[in-house]
Every structure is written in structure tokens, then in C-alpha cells.
Structure 1
């Protein structure tokens, strides 16, 4: 998707995807009506009004559009106009209507995971979304006019389960997916159908945001980047509506991390700058600065990277016990050292990288197997740059073992990519053993 398409109405984008003019789409709708035995013949003017938001198509015309686009009629009824159209995945506006649409889309995706593939959001789109988050104030919350009142005991239970599941996914991600999705589904449904006052609604939306953020990481670890972004998009909407700026900043940092991973580090830097403008917790600011350092290192900016790492260390030192949000409580000196090591690798300083990575690995909690696997691949890369094949091969084997136990595609693929770095030394005995171990 090019940035020039972002402002288009979804129906306009769909037409462009298929190469249809307005007249051409009108002819296809007429044929669809004939197949259903209906006397309907829309012209160009009607389609023009739909695309320029002067009017939404009636139920019959939406039915015909769905026929033309091979979309299940149930999706049309469930999602509503224009969100059911298979257009580009652009962020929904940070309004009450946009948030309802974003959460509905997540609910549909949970119930129908194979409905359609999502497209990854471009860096330009994400930076615009981050700017909106930093400048748009949340609207007043209202619950449904009819339905069951949200039970306070149930809400407290959902909040406690959110924190527990976040901790569990660090060690048993794939096994926890069903539980995370069930929590997300329940909390979204309550926001749509429950009766609640504004404080209760904000608590409920924080559960939605946290569980959707957690689900995003589960998809990210399996290499499903577009689906991860889709969940983080919904999480940001929920956090914004709940007026939890720190949680929203954390979700933006996830989107920025994803952008760096997908080779858009400049967009990541801009996203994080917007997030920093509204964050409040020192631990959250530390996380943001670490991820800013990672993006700056990929861009090759030595001095800015070191400044960001220094700010992250200072911020973490200001975090007081009991004041750090639960979702970022994992942030520790170990993470600072690990990310500093990765930054120095990207900046071509393998010796300094190894010092930081070794210290970070020593401080890392034993249950963080995925992070440990990733760090071992970094240490292998640093050893290779120092021409220490034996040490590099040993680190890679350990990374493989851990990656396989986590079942995280991201970790397994990173370990496999590390093996590829040994290609020029394949005739060496320790490298030959590594290739045999990796099944190459």
C-alpha cells in the first residue's frame, strides 16, 4: 500500500485494487442484482455518493456489493459499513465510532481467523496514527442502553486474569493463546453489550487493551506481523478510550518495535517520539527509550543511540517500587544491557556488544526463554565478527535448543538465520557439526 492511498474511502481502494471504474462497478452490481432476480440498476452517481460519505448503501446494495466481492453476508451484518470491505488495513479514527469498529474487527478475527489475510500497516500510516494518539483526547465513555450491568466481581476477576496470563505467555506462549483469546473475546463483548458507568468502562477497556496487546505479541512471535499489528491497533484504541496514556505509549512502542523489525527504523523513531510526549511512568519512558535506541542503531546514528540508552537507564533508575504498571514490570537492567548489546552490534562494535550481552544474559530471569534464545543469537553474531567460530557455534546451538522449546517461530527463524552466517566457514569442523545439528 502506498501512502497516497491512505485517505481514500475503502470502496475507492477496492475499485482501484480490481481496476474497476465507477461505471464498471455499477455494471457488476446490476448483474449481481439480476442473478438474485432483483430489478436494481445503480449508476455512477450512486457509487460516487457512497465513496464520498454522502450516504451509505442500503442493505440490498451492500448485499450486492458483497456478492461482487465474494464476501460472506454474515460478515456484512456483523461488521457494518464500510468496515467489512476488503480494503487496505488503515487505522480507524480515534473516535467512539472508530474504536467500536476496531474492536469489532478483532472480535470477527477471533471468531473467523481465516476470514481474510491482513496487510501490514506502512510506516507512514503508523506515524500518522501515533500523532493522532498524541493529540486527540478521548471521548466520554457510555455503555449500552440495554443489557446486563457489568458485574464488579467479574470485572475484578478479568483484571487479575489479565496480569496472570501476561506472565504465563512469557514462558508458554502457544499454549496460552486460547486463554488470551477467550479473555479478549469476553472483554470486548462486555464493552459492546454491557451496561456500565464511566469508571467501570475505563477499567473494562484497560482489560481489552492489555489482552489485545498480549495477543499481538503471540502473533508477532509466530511471525504473523500483520495480525500482530491488527491486535495492537485495537489495543491502542482501547487504551486511548480508557485514557490510559502509559498503556497506549506501551502499545505504540510495540508498533515501533515491529516497524524496526520490518526494516522501517525511521518510522519507529517518529512513533516513539509521539509516545514519549504523553507517557508518565519512568519505567514506560525507559522502555520507549530502549526501543528508540534500537531503531537509531539500525539507522547508524552512534551518538543518538548512546543518548537514548543513557535516557533509558536514567528513567529506569527513577522507577519506584509499586508505581510501575503491571504490563511493564518485566523491564529490568537485564533488558537494558541486552538491548545495548544489540545496538552496539548494529553499530559495528562486537567487543562492546559482547560485554553488554554477557552481563544482560547473566541478569535475565530464568523463565524468559524466548529472550534468552534471542540473546544467544546476538552473542553468536558478535563472536563471528570477532572470528571466534567455536564460541559462535556453541551459542548458536544453545539458541536452537531454547528456540525449539519455546515453539516461537520468531526465535526459531532467528536461530536458523544465525546458522546461515557461518556459510563462508562451512568446511571448518565446528561449523560442519553445527550444520549437521541444525539439519542442513
Structure 2
């Protein structure tokens, strides 16, 4: 049984008093006190907010709540400890293959994460050559070919577009199941090297999508586990551009959840790898995306000069794109409107409030109404631009709109953004 003080100890380890935690969660101090005594438990929605504030997964939080049983994973599901740098190797043997498949198996627990794990994996990926063809290993079951890859890619595109309109709280389990089923083919099927590498690329892209959606579902540590596994899969497939995309997405994840310094290092690793390739190996859209993510990491780290340089690089690259560029399928979402959203958010942080308002207002106006999570997020960013320009009334009206949208979907991202904006409005008033 968890001791009654476990939740309080975790709260203190994060630098919170009961009062400051209550303020962050917008509840009464007595509510926090009752949680810690075991007199009441948080609602499911409040559990997500509390877990994010304490840097825990929902399962980890449940174990700390007074009266909750300590989780005892079944031996069959227990995973061996994996040193972060051991994920990235210059060989691809059955041991590496089976380790990846086991870690991505449906319902398998994510390995415990350490604070510097993401940075170490990104650095190791940057300096480790990919496995050569002679190191390739296949599964041993029925043979699969190009047709199987085509079906997996079609399913992947479907899930990408589903994520555009379905929040992570509703979708992440479906995506995680797809990751597990696709990864299992590496062990249960046989295939030529070309198909095997294609399977690994599909696993890597699915892992990136699972990382994003799982974090949106409130499972932060598990999301990081997917990003790291995606880097391993893309590296084994010898696809440095896709690997850089997953590394860059991991940087975005770290930025979102309060690890901006780590995010800057990880984002720089992605850019360094891309810069080491021939210019023709990537497209302007890919380079724009990586620079844009690096820019926001710099913003959150308080490095505004570097942020301004990075967002200008992103705009310059995006301006060089052509209709016939061989863009990877995963760049489909970076439309001119989305680029305006990204630039507008950075403009806000850099004090360019009027420019930010113009960009964000125009882009939100053209946003598909079915994309509720994105509309809620973008509305909070526009509200922030007005708030920083001292237009509190307009910011408050936009915050109310964002809150109404967020309450209709199970999205940790939009809920977190609304809560942060609400706190800042309260301070401004």
C-alpha cells in the first residue's frame, strides 16, 4: 500500500506547497489536502492535470494516491532495463529486433526514464553510423512483401488524418495498437532487406505519431518511450531524414513538458544531422519544420535571439519550397496556414504582438472546424498575443472560446494551454 505521505513527498520534490499546487490546478487548498490524506481522489480529468504538474504518468500517479495498490507488473510483461545509448547501435541483429518488438508490444510497460535519457539517445544517434546491409536480420515466419508495406502505409496515412480531428484521449490506444502490430511483423514474418527497412520506417513514423497522441492522452513518460523507440527504428532503417523528424518531434515534446534546455540540445542534434547530408537529401519543407521546432525550444529556454534566427531560417526554407519537391508524406500538415500559426506564436514571444495577431487571426479563420484541438490551441496562442499587448478583455473572450472547445475533447495539450492562459489572465486582472 502507498504511504499516505507519498503524494505529498512527490509534490514537495517538484517544489510545490499545497497552496502553489492548488493554484496551478485551480482548486482549493483543502482539495489538495484531502487527496494527500486519502479523504477524496481526483476526478479523471483532474488526474490528468495533476499527473502533468507532477511529471508523472497516470499509472504512476495512481500508485501514489493514498489507498492505491502499488503496481506489480506481471513477470511476463516485465521489460529488461535498457541503457539509453544501447538503443542506438551500428548493428541490427535478432537481439536488437526482438528488443524493439518487445518494448512496443501492446500493453507492455514503458521502461523507466531518466532525466537525461532523451538527450543521450539523440546524441548517440547523431554520432553512430547506421547498420550496414551485412548486419541485417529478418524474421522467420511467413514471407511478406511490397503489398504488405503498401497496406501499412495506407493505414498510417489514415491514422495521421484521424489524429487531425480526434484528440489523443480518444485515439492514442488505437495508434499504440497499430505500432505493436506493425512492429511484431519484424519478428513474426520473413522478408528481404528492402521490405524489412520499410517495416522499420513504418514503425518509426508510427512511433512518432504514438508519442504525440499518447502525450495528448496524458501519458507523458510513455510518449517519450515511443519517441525513443522511433529513433531506434529509423536509425536501423538507415533513414536519417525520418530519424531527424522523430528526434525533432521529441524536442517538441520536451519543450511542451518543461524541459526546454534538453529540447534545445535535442533539436540541435536533428538539425546537425540534416546539415551533414547533401542538400538534395532533404526538402525545404523538412528543413523548415526542423528549424521551426528548434525556434520554439529556444523561446521556452529564454534564448530569444536564437529563436528569432531559427524562425527566420524556417521562413526562408519554407519560402523556397516548390510544388514538385519530393516531400515525405509526414510533412503533409505543414501548410502555409500552419506555418503562419507557428511563426505567429514565436512572434508573440518575441514581442511582435500586432504581427502575431494578424498571422494567428487569419490562420484560425481558415482552420477546419473539425480540428477542435488545434483550434483550441491556436485560440489560446492568439489570446496570449492580445494579453501581451495589454488587451485583457479580448484575451479573456478568446480564452473563454478556447475553454469551451477544450471541454468537448479529451486533449491534454489543449487543456494544459487553457489552464496556463487562465492563470496568466488571473494575474493580469
Q: TM-score, normalised to structure 1's length? A: 0.71
User: Does 1:259 pair with 2:262?
Assistant: no
Counterparts of 1:117-132 in structure 2, within 5 Å, are 119-122=112-115, 124-132=116-124
Q: State whether residues 170 and 410 of structure 2, in contact with CA within 8 Å, keep that contact through their aligned partners in structure 1.
A: no
Pairwise CA distance, 1:99: 5.3
How far apart are the structure 2 equivalents of 1:329 and 1:70? Answer: 42
Aligned to 2:21: none
Task: Tell me, in whole angstroms, the C-alpha distance in 1 between the residues paired with 2:394 and 2:72.
Answer: 55
Q: Does 1:327 align with 2:330?
A: yes
CA contact (8 A) 2:218 2:412 kept: yes
1:424 positional shift:
4.3
Deviation at 1:309, TM superposition (A): 1.2
User: What displacement does 1:271 show?
Assistant: 1.6
Quick check: 1:383–1:392 contact (8 Å CA) kept in 2?
A: yes
Ranked by relative contact order (alpha carbons within 8 Å, sequence separation 6 or more), the top structure is 2
Which of 160, 170, 177 lines up with 2:154 in the alignment? 160
Match of residue 395 from structure 1: 398
Task: Determine which of 186, 191, 196 is the counterpart of 1:196.
Answer: 191
1:277 has 2:272 as partner: yes
Moved more, 203-212 or 167-176: 167-176
2:44 maps to none
Q: Counterpart of 1:309?
A: 311
Partner of 1:105: 103
Could you tell me how far apart the structure 1 residues matched to 2:101 and 2:322 are? 34
How far has the Cα of 1:102 moved from its partner?
Answer: 3.3
Q: Distance in 1 between matches of 2:284 and 2:384?
A: 32
- Do structure 1's residue 221 and structure 2's residue 219 form an aligned pair? no
Match among 322, 341, 347 for residue 344 of structure 2: 341
Q: Flag the 1:381–1:118 CA change in 2: closer, same or farther, 3 A.
A: farther
Which of the residues 126, 148, 169 maps onto 2:142? 148
For 1:374 and 1:205, locate their aligned partners in 2 and report how far apart those are by CA, in whole Å: 32
Q: Is 1:135 aligned to residue 127 of structure 2?
A: yes
> What does 1:351-390 correspond to in 2, within 5 Å?
351-390=354-393
Q: Does 1:292 align with 2:294?
A: yes
TM-superposition CA deviations, 1:210-246 (whole Å, max 9, x none): 1121111111112322111101111111111111222
In structure 2, C-alpha distance between the alignment counterparts of 1:88 and 1:197, rounded to whole Å: 30
CA drift at 1:258: 1.5
C-alpha separation between the residues in 1 aligned to 2:120 and 2:172? 30
Task: Give deviations 1:274-301, integer Å, cap 9, x for gaps.
Answer: 2123332321211110011112222333
**Equivalent pair of 2:138/2:193 in contact (CA under 8 Å):** no
Counterpart Cα distance in 2 of 1:153 and 1:419: 50
Q: Give 5+ residue unaligned stretches, structure 1.
A: 1-68, 427-440
In the alignment, is the contact (CA less than 8 A) between 1:377 and 1:415 conserved in 2?
yes
Bigger drift between 187-196 and 263-272 goes to: 263-272
Deviation at 1:378, TM superposition (A): 1.5
Is residue 141–residue 190 contact of structure 2 (8 Å, CA) maintained in 1?
yes
Query: What secondary structure sits across from 2:87 in the alignment?
Result: coil
Aligned counterpart, 2:11: none
Deviation at 1:148, TM superposition (A): 0.9
1:178 is displaced (CA, Å) by 4.1
User: Residue 327 of structure 1: CA displacement?
Assistant: 0.9
Stretch of structure 1 that moved more, 153-162 or 285-294: 153-162
Q: The residue matched to 2:291 in structure 1 has which SS?
A: helix
Count how many residue pairs are aligned between Structure 1 and Structure 2.
345
Instruction: Tell me the equivalent position of 1:49.
Output: none
Q: Name the SS for the 2:129 alignment partner.
A: coil
Structure 1 residues 104 and 318, CA gap change in structure 2 (3 angstroms) = farther
Structure 2 gap ranges (5+): 1-70, 275-281
